[in-house]
Amino acid sequence: MRIKFWGVRGSIPTPEHRNHRYGGNTTCVEVRLDNGTLFILDCGSGLRALGNSLHREFGKKPIHGFILMTHFHWDHIQGIPFFQPLYSGGNAFLFVSVKRKKNGIRAVIEGQMTGPYFPTDMAAIASASNFCDLDFGEIDIQGALIRPAPLNHPQGCVAYRIKADGSSFVFATDTEPGSLVYDRALRDLAQGADVLVYDAQYPPEKLLAEKRGWGHSSWFEGVRIAEECGVRRLILTHHDPDSDDEFVDGLVANARKLFPNVEGACEGLEIFLPQRAVVHDYERSIPRRERRYRVEFPVRVMWESGNGHPGQAEGLVLSVSKSGIFFVVPRNVPVKELFKLALPIPTELAGESPIVSQFDVQPMRTLMVSRPLAGETPCLGIVARRLDSPPVPADREVVLSG
């Protein structure tokens, strides 16, 4: 499964220099499955660039896609009239949403392309466009299990969980914490997700004051959900139009103090979720029980290849707990049942006698991370369980020689 962000801003596009790193287009996310199935989540102004990219990729070949709508506020639909593939015959798109009390999805989409809002109407669309109103139940689309859940937002909104290719992705934008019903529904949806994309439009202090009731959330609530539900990676999105790059950097930095594997969504960010069949099931109780410490130490990763020959690579440890460790390695490192790690303890921590801590680890899950390693990005992140082994004095270490 590949996830790519084309729009990450909330409320209104902000094409300003101060937002150039995170981007100013409103919400639009592409999800591509291993079998080629295309999903599009929301149709903010980022949809225009996605459409141009699809046009270049497919050329004259037909484009088929499923467009999952969270709700119909203007910043989530304003890109539809500018989505070029809609105007090409042979293409086909299914717009999907959860049933509304009043107008269904077809009426809403067609209504925003009529006068006086837009100079042409749906008659100009040459592609085959169909519309589907769902209930709150799980459905199978081209091998992906899609499950929606209601969110706390004015006029309503839904989150989606996409489970496919051995991974799970949850998209939860435009939601405000504080409702027992909606908070529980979102946590049920997010349980054990590989990636949670979450609304963090406001800092916590504003959410508790002047922005209460506006239907949005904060990085702090995102971290709470990630910790409680065993989420592996948290992406903060729906940045406020008044939040420039530096401000969003600050929100992300605050979140990382409590949950290391978090970043701010930016236009162009791609996440690759590999199949997890080769690693062990994640035991959600570990991060709940144990405190994790953010560190940054070099590590040598060693394994035995299929022909019995040893392999090794240089990596970087980013967080540790009593029984677990998270490290990144070049993405060509094979995922094995067992790795051996050699971790030099700096002299300022170990004293006059440097120590190399060597131990075995058992991978629990893998993920692609955007952090560069020796000039390479993305890299492979590995969350592993430590198998106890005593530290080795440096003068006795032989594995690292040569």
pLDDT at 100 (0 to 100): 66
Read off the pLDDT band of 287 (50, 70, 90). Answer: very low
pLDDT at 391 (0 to 100): 42
Residue with tokens 């993920």: 367
Of 41-45, 220-224, 242-246, 317-321, the poorest mean pLDDT is in 317-321
Read off the pLDDT band of 394 (50, 70, 90). Answer: very low
Who has greater pLDDT, 43 or 355? 43
pLDDT at 26 (0 to 100): 98
Who has greater pLDDT, 107 or 36? 36
Q: Is the Cβ–Cβ distance between 376 and 331 less than 8 Å?
A: yes
pLDDT at 224 (0 to 100): 95
Short-list 292, 289, 397, CA closest to 350: 397
Please name the CATH architecture into which domain 285-396 falls. Answer: Beta Barrel (2.40)
Q: Is the pLDDT of residue 389 over 60?
A: no
Whole-angstrom distance, CA of residue 299 vs CA of residue 292: 18
* Strand ranges inside 200-292, DSSP E: 233-237, 262-264, 270-272
The one-letter amino acid code at 66 reads: F
Which tens digit of pLDDT belongs to each residue from 221-268?
999 999 999 999 999 999 999 999 999 999 999 999 999 999 999 999
Q: Is the Cβ–Cβ distance between 363 and 384 less than 8 Å?
A: yes
Q: Is the pLDDT of residue 307 over 60?
A: yes
Which tens digit of pLDDT belongs to each residue from 85-118?
999 999 999 999 887 666 677 887 788 777 787 7
pLDDT at 184 (0 to 100): 94
Read off the pLDDT band of 334 (50, 70, 90). Answer: confident
Query: Where do the domains of the chain lie?
Result: 2-272, 285-396
**What is the per-residue burial (b if ≥16 Cβ within 10 Å, else e) of 6-16?**
bbbbbbebbee
Which tens digit of pLDDT belongs to each residue from 22-32?
999 999 999 99
Which tens digit of pLDDT belongs to each residue from 144-158?
999 999 999 998 999
pLDDT at 162 (0 to 100): 97
Short-list 276, 284, 295, CA closest to 365: 276
Q: Which residues contact 123 (CB under 8 A, 6 or more apart)?
A: none
Mean pLDDT of the chain: 84
2-272 to CATH, choices 3.90.105.10, 3.30.1780.10, 3.40.47.10, 3.60.15.10: 3.60.15.10
Whole-angstrom distance, CA of residue 247 vs CA of residue 95: 35
Average pLDDT over residues 384-397: 54
Give the pair of three-digit tokens for residue 184. 């529980």
Q: Which run of H or E residues covers position 365?
A: strand 355-369
Q: Which residues contact 294 (CB under 8 A, 6 or more apart)?
A: 256, 257, 260, 318, 319
